[in-house]
Every structure is written in structure tokens, then in C-alpha cells.
Amino acid sequence: MTNVVLDSSAVLAMVYNEPGGKKVRSAIVSALHSVSISAVNWCEVLTKLGQKSPIMTAEKLAAVLPGVEVVPFGRAEAEHTSKLAKSCGSLSLGDRACVALAKDIDAVAWTGDRIWKQFKLDVAVDLIRP
């Protein structure tokens, strides 16, 4: 089984049927993947979707992402994410939280943001878009 951590851009690509979104959906429903998301990225996705639709709730998002584990973001996660700012400071807080979680659980980080390839990250990264 492959551990996958989703960045906000990967989830939004799936929700909005953007390029790469089908790949994300396939991973979520596949028994071959264990899929997680940082609570920071969960918040980002809820915020973006809530801006477009005032009826979006956490329960509705959970229904769209069945089986995806939302991983709490506490002190240890905050410290790891903060350290990443030294080597990849132009990545957003959410991006760094995703990378930190992927490192912590030995997972592949999935993103739609090509900027990640500019950095030497200590995790495997899968760009979901062609």
C-alpha cells in the first residue's frame, strides 16, 4: 500500500474537475492507497470551497473525500513545518505542512503546484497535472 498525502491543490483539482483531479479521485477510492491530508490543508480547502459556495461544510467535504484521514496539526507538526521555511521558504504554509506530513508518515506528497519541483525536498513528490 502506498501512503499519499494530498496538498490543497490536489483536492481542489478533484473537486473542480481540473487536470489531475481524476488521478486524485482514483487514489481516494483505491484499496492500493492510504490517503491523508494535514488539518492545515483541510482548512485551506474548506476556506476556498466556502468562498465559492456558502453551503459547503466539513461534513460535505468529508463525503467528497471518503476515507481520507485528516491529520491533526500540533506543536511537533508546526515545528517541522517551520523548519522547512529555511530550505523552501517560498512554499506556502499549507504546502510546507503537506511536505512535513509526508515526511513524518513516509508518504508521497501529491500536488498540482509545479513550483514544488524547484526545491530539493526530502520527500517524494507526485505532480498530479501533466
Q: Which residue has the cell 482548512?
A: 43
> What pLDDT is recorded for position 5?
98
pLDDT digits (tens, 9 = 90+) for 50-61: 998 888 889 999
Q: For 1-127, where are the alpha helices, taking DSSP H only? A: 8-15, 21-29, 39-52, 58-64, 75-88, 93-104
Closest CA to 116 of 2, 66, 102: 102
- Tell me the C-alpha distance between 90 and 95, whole Å: 10
pTM of the model: 0.94
pLDDT of res. 44: 97
pLDDT of res. 1: 86
pLDDT along the chain (130 residues), means of 10: 96 96 96 96 96 88 95 95 88 96 97 92 93
Q: Which domains does the chain have, with CATH numbers?
A: 2-127 (3.40.50.1010)
Q: What was the pLDDT predicted at 68? A: 97
- Supply the pLDDT for residue 101: 97
Give the C-alpha separation, 91 to 81, whole Å.
11
How much is the pLDDT for 56? 83
Buried-exposed string 67-84: b where 16+ CB fall within 10 A, e elsewhere: ebebbebeeebeebbeeb
